Structure 1
């Protein structure tokens, strides 16, 4: 099989060694935030945890460290919130901690890593097709990040399944998809209103409850972006 699909960091570690490219999908909110930041001209450094080590890492990279949504201030507005990033002055270098999307990017860092969301799924699919990813010579793995249950275990997330399926459904050419990848693509094609699904899914409702409905709205801007963030030297940058 030349195109595979999996869930979370464990799948990334298992699939990345045999893949020429890994696509990370974390719609709410890591890869959506990465896309917004890259569009604004930032190089985005993924980092697994938001703690003292993240602060040290940001200093090493001469970068601004994104804080938790509730910790944002007028003088430090950079967070994982895509809406907040869009409204903030964009720094040239941004460290963006995320236990899901960033961890997957780190697990696949030895190969080409692309950040995809609903905002740029068609652009990503075109970029992959143009470069021959998903062929026998350049196998492709698409990883849905999912969320976490309170015990730390993976919670499959509809928004990431839809985002992964959108990329998979957009691939053009002779690809051999695993049954899991085919199922994800089929779900996307069969979803009549992905925007409503995003607002109504568990993760979307959680962001509403936390007071960040605008982040769901940004993530639901389907096909609004042509930016393809690619991990280069530790940072996501817009592909030429």
Structure 2
């Protein structure tokens, strides 16, 4: 007989789908590989910075990190901080949604944590698939002014893109629904992102270019992997990307 702790776990399936910090914490507690999807803009920006050669430390926006770096177009050689002796670039990326979902998955014991979006969906699916582990894709969602979770179409589409790339694994009904939404919109991603609520918000703030960047399906071949609180690329140059 099921109960609240098992009804919604999607335990019979390899590919699972959930929302927000609570979903990330549940996935972490199961020991799943967790993919954090905050399409506008955290996950897209993490991928963009890593593609430019940086490592990224996710931070809550209240911790004082520079929120201007949340744009995927704020790339090197902007005033970022060199790591002493390593030659790499370290970015502290503030985010109230994606970063907090990363933290929830990490503190609850996730096997691995990736940052995924439309721009690197296939690359992240490849890296997660290689772990031979249950995978939960987390659509972060946004927040209403009272702090409650707001549905975010862009995150559903990003999650669905990764689930579509994991087609050889068993997917829960929840994951299949996200995949179906993505497939129905695959040829219209720019239009959907520009006209959804979050896209309209960014355009009103003069950030339309960020939305266009985030809508470019599989434009990057990086799989940001969180280790010791920092994202770096988990894919070697010879890894074969799932198509």
TM-score by length of 1: 0.83
Partner residue in 2 for 1:216? 211
Contact 1:37–1:90 (8 Å) recurs in 2:
no
Partner residue in 1 for 2:144? 149
| TM-superposed deviation, 1:39 | 1.1
Contact 1:34–1:115 (8 Å) recurs in 2:
yes
Matches within 5 A, 1:55-134: 55=64, 65=65, 67-69=66-68, 79-85=69-75, 88=78, 91=81, 92-109=89-106, 110-111=109-110, 112-132=112-132
Contact 2:61–2:67 (8 Å) recurs in 1:
no
Contact 1:33–1:85 (8 Å) recurs in 2:
no
| TM-superposed deviation, 1:131 | 3.2
CA distance in 2, matches of 1:238, 1:89: 21
| TM-superposed deviation, 1:97 | 1.3
* 2:196 aligns with one of 188, 191, 201: 201
Pair 1:185 & 2:179 matched: yes
Query: Unaligned regions of 5+ residues in structure 2, if any?
Result: 1-12, 82-88, 237-243
Pair 1:139 & 2:134 matched: yes
| TM-superposed deviation, 1:232 | 1.0
| TM-superposed deviation, 1:15 | 2.1
Pair 1:168 & 2:160 matched: no
Partner residue in 2 for 1:32? 44
TM-score by length of 2: 0.82
Quickly say closer, same or farther: Cα 1:49–1:131, change in 2 above 3 A: same
CA distance in 2, matches of 1:182, 1:87: 40
Name the SS for the 2:61 alignment partner.
coil
Count of paired positions: 212
Quickly say closer, same or farther: Cα 1:211–1:3, change in 2 above 3 A: same
Name the SS for the 1:119 alignment partner.
helix
Query: Unaligned regions of 5+ residues in structure 1, if any?
Result: 56-64, 70-78, 133-137
